Structure formats: C-alpha cells, structure tokens
Amino acid sequence: MQKNKKGAEKIISVYWFAILFIVAGAMVYMVSSFYGKPYDVREIEAGLLTDKIAGCVSEAGYIQSVVLSQGFDNSFFDFCNLNFETEDAYGWKEQGQYYTEISIYNFNSEQVLSVIKEGNENLKEFCELGGGNLPVCLKRSLYTIAKDNSQYKIDILSVIRKTEKNA
Amino acid sequence: MKNLLRKNKRGNILTENIIFIVLNLAFITILLLFLFSRTGDASVLEEKYAKQIALLIDAAEPIMTIHLSMEDAIEIAEKENFPAGEIVKITGNVVTVKLGEDGGYSYSFFNDVDANANFDTLNKKEYYFVVNEKQ
C-alpha cells in the first residue's frame, strides 16, 4: 500500500512538471509571437491622413474654393502640407507606400465634380481583398458647403501599405 | 530500529519537497526573466517609440511642442553607454530611434512640417518635439 502511494506521488510529480512545461511552452510561444510581430499602426496612420485631408479640403464646414479649381492635383501636396516620401527600406522609395483619392460630389445630384488621386494608385486594388499582409484602406465621407450655399459630399479614401514594418 | 527508519523516511520526504520547490522556483524565475527580457527589449522599444513619434508628428499642427516620456528607453541607452541626446533623430520626414551603437528603427511621417527632436536636459526622462511650418 505504501509502495503504491510512493509510486502515485512520483507520477503526480512527473505530471506536475509536464504541466509546467506545457504552460511555459505556451507562454514562450505567445510572448514570442506577440513581440516578434511588429506593432501595426497603419489604421491609426490612415485615420490621421484622412483627418488631415478632411481638414485641408474643408475648413470650418466650408469647402476650400481651390479644391474645385482645375489643376488642384498639382498643388495638392503643398496646399495640404503632405509628403508621401518614405524611408529607403524594402524598396519603398520606388514603390510608393501611400495612396489617397478625394472624390467631390454634388450633394443633391450625386454628380462627380472632381476626383483627385495622389500616391501609388496600384494600392487601391487591394482594398477589396482581405488579409493581414495587405495595405490598410480607410474610406470616410463628409458633408460640406460653399460660400454660395451649394452643398457637397466629399469621399476620402486613404491607403497605407508599409506592410513589411507593420504586418 | 523502527524509529530510525521513520526518521530517515521523514528526512527523505523533506529533501524531496525542498528539491521540488527549488526546481519550481527556478523554473518560474527563468520564465519571468524571459518575459521581462522580451517586453523590455531594446528593439521592441525602438520600434514602439519610432512609430509613436511619427504618429504624434502626423497628428500635430505647426507651432506645437509635444513632450514624450521615454524613461525606459533612456535607461537602456545609458546602460549601453549611448548618449541620451542622440536617441531620437529626425531627418526630413523620417524618425529614427536608436538605443545603442548598433541597430535602430526608422519610420516616416506624412505631415510636411519641420520637426525637431530635443532631449529634456532638465529632468533627463523625456524628449520634446517642436513642430513648425516648413520654410
């Protein structure tokens, strides 16, 4: 009877260590997978880019008249204080890591008045697809008026790639 | 004789228990050391601060000063004998955070502003970033 008890104790001890190793293994795996992956900040970045563009094309609820003028594409970066250049890593300089598309509609007729596209347009294709290693897309709409009370709807699409450093 | 056996048996049980507890403690200590080493790793902090600073600048408007506490990063740099005033560098629109001679992490921001990184030499625990309009 005593022998059996001792045997049972040994089995419990082995069992206890097995549990410890399983728990430790799980912890090491979880910590490694969490800290091994980069922080994905692209959603926040896309949100900030959208906010920045929204604040640039519309001020205090009024659309900036220059936005509706022809050739705004050429002055977009200067007017909105944006710079889509990135660090020279993973061939990012050549590829372009940002894309933004601003569509301005007549609020009542839904007629497209102007579309401004800046950055790497190829990134837009990925917005329809799902997956962790793809660019992050964010689409927001805003309502604005002009000084003559004409109403506009503005759609802003922001796409950020930077996959290698975020996914 | 019977009493002597009993004493030995008790002694064995105590030794086994002590070994068991010591092994468990050693095991847990190693596990905790691993966890702390991963969470406070220099490369993790470099990435965290580079991205955080880039996002702060993206959200900033000209004539803003942003203070950021970087106590943990400064501690690691001091351990590595790396000057605290050279941890954060902003070149053009790229933020680079380095906590030692080797490595470093860079991340770009899209806000076209003049941003400068300055080490707070008074409290020696934070950096402040001055954001101005581009000349």
pLDDT digit of tens for each residue in chain A (167 aa)? Answer: 455 555 666 666 778 778 888 888 888 888 888 878 899 999 999 999 999 999 999 999 999 999 988 889 899 999 999 999 999 889 888 889 999 999 999 999 989 999 999 999 999 999 988 777 899 999 999 999 998 999 999 999 999 999 999 98
Distance CA B68, CA B52 (A): 9
B124-127, long-range: CB < 8 A, 24+ apart: B124/B74, B124/B84, B125/B69, B125/B70, B125/B71, B125/B74, B126/B67, B126/B68, B126/B69, B126/B70, B126/B71, B127/B67, B127/B68, B127/B70, B127/B87, B127/B88
Distance from CA of B30 to the nearest CA of A (A): 10
Q: Which two tokens stand for residue B104?
A: 């470093």
Contact B34 A28 (CB under 8 A): yes
Q: What was the pLDDT predicted at A115?
A: 94
Kindly report, residue by residue over B21-44, the tens digit of the pLDDT: 888 888 888 888 888 877 778 888
Dist. CA B71–CA B87, nearest whole Å: 12
Longest C-alpha distance within chain A, in Å? 98
A·B CB contacts under 8 A: 65
In B, which residues are within 8 Å of A81 by CB distance? 111-113, 133-134
Q: Which residue of A has its CA nearest to B111?
A: A82
Give residue B54's pLDDT. Answer: 97
DSSP3 helix / strand / coil % (chain B, rounded to 5):
50, 25, 25
Best interface-test mutation with A: which of B44, B108, B109, B135 has the largest number of A CBs within 10 A? B108
Task: Please give the C-alpha separations between residue A125 and each of A158, A159, B70, B125, in angstroms, as whole numbers.
Answer: 12, 10, 39, 45
Kindly report the pTM of this predicted structure: 0.82
Residue B48 has φ and ψ, to the nearest 5°, of: -60, -50
Contacts of A41 in chain B (CB under 8 A): 51, 55
Note the pLDDT tens digit of each residue in B45-63: 999 999 999 999 999 999 9
Eight-state DSSP code of residue A164? G
Residue listed under structure tokens 């002597």 = B4
Distance between CA atoms of residues A3 and A9, nearest Å: 10
Q: In chain A, what residues touch B57 (CB-CB under 8 Å)?
A: none
Stretch 42-61 of chain A: residues touching chain B, C-beta under 8 Å: 44-45, 48-49, 51-52
Contact B114, A84 (CB under 8 A): no
Neighbours of B119 (CB within 10 A): 18
**Record: contact A39-B55, CB cut-off 8 A:** no
Residue labelled with tokens 């020279």: A88
Shortest CA gap B122–chain A (Å) = 31
Q: Residue ranges of the domains in chain B?
A: 1-39, 42-133
